[in-house]
Structure 1
Amino acid sequence: MLDKKISEAKRATQFIFLVCGLALSSWAPMVPLAKDRLHLNEAELGFLLLLLGGGALVMMPLSGFFISKKGTRKVILTSVLSAALLLPFLLIVSDTYLMGIVLFAFGCCIGTIDVAMNSHGVQVQNAFGRPIMSSLHGLFSVGGLLGAMGLGFLIKFGLNPIYAAITISALLIGLLVFQFRHLLNYTEEKEIIQKFSHVDEAQVVTSRFQWLNGTVFLLGFMCFIVFLSEGAMLDWSAIFLRDNKGVESEFSGIGYAAFSVAMAVMRLTGDSLISKLNSKIVVIGGSVLAALGVLILIFSPWLALSLAGFVLLGVGAANIVPVFFSEGGKIPGLSPTVTIPVISTMGYAGQLAGPALLGFIAHHFSLMVAFESIALLFIIVAVIYKFRK
């Protein structure tokens, strides 16, 4: 396949990661508004967040089926358009049950985009011949910054909230249309799989239960924890800053923005960083740094220092997952086409469903205790990775 085509596909994939981050993080400044509009307590809000994650988890395994039949490009097209159309409704629905339905559908779209863009990114990386996954996830974080701050600024400077949401939706559709033709089509993806697969299928366990492997689940569990922290920042950071630090609702997304900036910078440089450092330094050191960041943002009496905690969390967590993905693709006797989807699904389960657990912890204890549990989970990741075989 021509180098120009692969370069164009790489750029198009970067834009899709940007679109996904933008779509998902636009929900962050809407959370406090939805909580107030629907008169929800923390447990009720947690249940709604669970519906969002549930929609994603329902669609993730189905997405793999659709991708195998239609290719990632068509799946990306359908899911991005659907997410863009649903986004404004998250800001105007005033019935709790209808809001649950809309959030579930929106989660379905986000889950589908996640699976499709990562599948597409793996194929492009194989054809490109160099690591690109960290930088792709860096563009997702850039989208997180734009979504978290963009919607809030549009509303703050006088634009009607519904028109602000429609503006974000139009941007999502515009970016998709701009890059759609450069995404790999179904035939091109099949050619890459055949040419660049490093697995001898005759030596791979043929059982459909080959994903039932301890190493796969261990990597998936650690991915769950790291992605849970991202989901917590998306769904709870705005409320934490508003209710615990006195930040205005319009700017309550600033914590997630600081986290996203740090994630973006570290991931955009992460491909070279991972290649230079030992994986244990990236994972163990990053986990400890992330835990420290969470404790700082919780206990600091100053907003500026709390924002520094968000930054430390982003710096520490940024490149842990790419290490897990790389190891998941090298498990002896198991095909990466089986292991990577399992690890990805477990990871994104943490991002999209895990924060609902924080809602229940916050309801029965406090939001500070819920955030403290995140720090503890990062320490668990460091210990597991330190002593794993």
Structure 2
Amino acid sequence: MTSATPPGPSTTPAILRRYRLAISLMFGIAGMTIGTWTARIPAIQHNIKMADGKLSICLLVLAVGGLLGMRAAGRFIDRHGSTTVLVLPSLTLGGALLFAGHAPTWTMLAAALLTFGVLHGTLNVSMNAAAVSCQTAYGRPIMTSFHALFSIGGVAGALLSAACAHIGLTVADAFAAVAVASTATAGWAIHRLTPAPTSNAKVQESTATAAPGRRRPRARILLLGMLAFSALISEGAAADWASTYLTRLGATPALAAIAYAAFAASMTLGRLIGDRLTAAIAPAALLRGCGLIAGGGLALGLIGGTPITAIVGFASLGAGLSCVVPLIYSTAGNLDPARPGAALSAVAALGYLGYVTGPAIIGGAATHISLGNALLILPALATLLVVAAPVVHHSRGRHHRPTNARRHKTPLPAATDDMTRPTRQIRTPEFTTNHLDHPVTDLEGALR
């Protein structure tokens, strides 16, 4: 790879924007593929003639695959860099989805979902690690916008599946269309995303030269994981139980469907404006406010006991949770510059565990108490966000607002994920800015 002349002030923002777009597309791919799969679960169960028990096994296998992929991703990211790690899963995720669409038996479906889960989990952690690095290079909060693309991708995948079903296409045909689209998009994005690879020697050198006595902040990682677990329990429970709860309140099927739509729409809208909120409000205060909106809004909606108040409650839950996971992941990715992948993968895995177990936790509680009372568990969990909010507070010293990358008059640091090198950190109320020692030419050469 040849070295290029350092870009001037006018070209550096363009390089960063291109890098950011590529990462955003990865989030869209992850959301679209999982949304496509979720929307066609009933059709796949009917086609294979699976009993509910076998479908539960397949869904459990998918969850296990996701957890395995997330945990493995952390080690690979710290060794090779996040954008190197995400190449394989982004290119093959569509193929695994297509395999699931063609599975003739439930055992073959389970094998396909195990593969899909591992790839999706690996992509999830690696794209979030790349997003943290991109945010670092920008010098201002942009993490929430990436997660907005994940939400938009999920809605797009579900709508595409519904459209394919409406015109009579089979599940396999719909999955094939998504597989082609996701693979082509990933291929286009990779050429604009992959930075120069990091050698093992450089990783070892950076670890050796890190601050003496520095250790992984295990207690903070565990607390962040608990916050992610609590938040994603609510996401999973809302997806599976919101419409059912409204039905039990006497709502029509059309009105009941609005409950989850309101949740998803408010979450997406919250993420679209989340970066501005993160820039304007200290992270601890923002997380505390998110917890109050999510928990308080849902509690009032459930206590109201009518379909309309419940819809408003689920909308409040989505709005409140919109910025929570991006805040938590940003904090985790900056906890230990020498090992960003390890911290992020641990937190993401705990969050994902909450997402897949949330529906079962609420369902199990509903067998002993009413569904409405069981859903009150979610506001109770939201109080943890309020109480433990200082865990995302990185401020030491005076308030400093992140600088907008577009206003820089000097070349910015490269948006690479080689965060294992020694860094000089400026801690701000918004997030930790790591001024990497790479010139931006590394990224420009890689993008070429």
Q: What's the TM-score, normalizing by structure 2?
A: 0.70
3-state SS of 1:321 partner:
helix
- Counterpart check, 1:38 vs 2:50: yes
Match 1:247 to one of 249, 253, 256: 253
Name 1:314's counterpart in structure 2: 318
Per-residue CA deviations over 1:235-271 (Å, capped at 9, x if unaligned) read 55577678885537xx997654443332222112111
Which has the higher Rg, Structure 1 or Structure 2? 2
How far apart are residue 121 of structure 1 and its match? 1.1
Q: Is the 8 A contact 1:149 1:257 kept in 2?
A: no
Give the Cα separation in 2 of the matches to 1:367 and 1:109: 34
Give 2:224's aligned amino acid: L
Give 1:133's aligned amino acid: M
Per-residue CA deviations over 1:250-299 (Å, capped at 9, x if unaligned) read x9976544433322221121112022124344223322322345453797
Match 1:275 to one of 279, 284, 295: 279
Name 1:340's counterpart in structure 2: 344
Q: Is the 8 A contact 1:227 1:350 kept in 2?
A: yes
Deviates more, 1:376-385 or 1:262-271: 376-385
Give 2:133's aligned amino acid: Q
Name 1:7's counterpart in structure 2: 17
Q: Is the 8 A contact 1:204 1:333 kept in 2?
A: no
How far apart are residue 58 of structure 1 and its match? 0.9
Give 1:247's aligned amino acid: P
Mapping for residues 85-234 of structure 1, pairs under 5 Å = 85-91=95-101, 93=103, 95-187=105-197, 201-206=210-215, 210-211=216-217, 213-234=218-239
How far apart are residue 108 of structure 1 and its match? 0.9
Residues 71/334 of structure 1: CA separation in 2 closer, same or farther (3 Å cut): closer
Give the Cα separation in 2 of the matches to 1:242 and 1:97: 34
Name 2:409's counterpart in structure 1: none
Q: Is the 8 A contact 1:219 1:324 kept in 2?
A: yes
**Structure 2: where are the runs of 5+ without partners?**
1-5, 394-448
Give the Cα separation in 1 of the matches to 2:242 and 2:123: 24
Residues 68/145 of structure 1: CA separation in 2 closer, same or farther (3 Å cut): same
Residues 186/363 of structure 1: CA separation in 2 closer, same or farther (3 Å cut): farther
Residues 120/329 of structure 1: CA separation in 2 closer, same or farther (3 Å cut): closer
How far apart are residue 86 of structure 1 and its match? 2.3
Match 2:65 to one of 55, 71, 83: 55
Q: Is the 8 A contact 2:290 2:320 kept in 1?
A: yes
How far apart are residue 311 of structure 1 and its match? 2.4
How far apart are residue 6 of structure 1 and its match? 2.2
Per-residue CA deviations over 1:108-128 (Å, capped at 9, x if unaligned) read 111011011011112222222
Identity over aligned residues, as a percent? 27
- Counterpart check, 1:381 vs 2:388: no
Q: What's the TM-score, normalizing by structure 1?
A: 0.80
Q: Is the 8 A contact 2:98 2:172 kept in 1?
A: yes
Residues 252/104 of structure 1: CA separation in 2 closer, same or farther (3 Å cut): farther
- Counterpart check, 1:323 vs 2:327: yes
Residues 329/104 of structure 1: CA separation in 2 closer, same or farther (3 Å cut): closer
Residues 348/9 of structure 1: CA separation in 2 closer, same or farther (3 Å cut): same
How far apart are residue 185 of structure 1 and its match? 2.4
Per-residue CA deviations over 1:159-193 (Å, capped at 9, x if unaligned) read 33332222222221222123221003243899x99
Q: Is the 8 A contact 2:297 2:317 kept in 1?
A: yes
How far apart are residue 305 of structure 1 and its match? 5.5
Give the Cα separation in 1 of the matches to 2:26 and 2:213: 32
Number of equivalences: 376
Q: Is the 8 A contact 2:26 2:127 kept in 1?
A: yes
Give the Cα separation in 1 of the matches to 2:129 and 2:15: 17
3-state SS of 1:130 partner:
coil
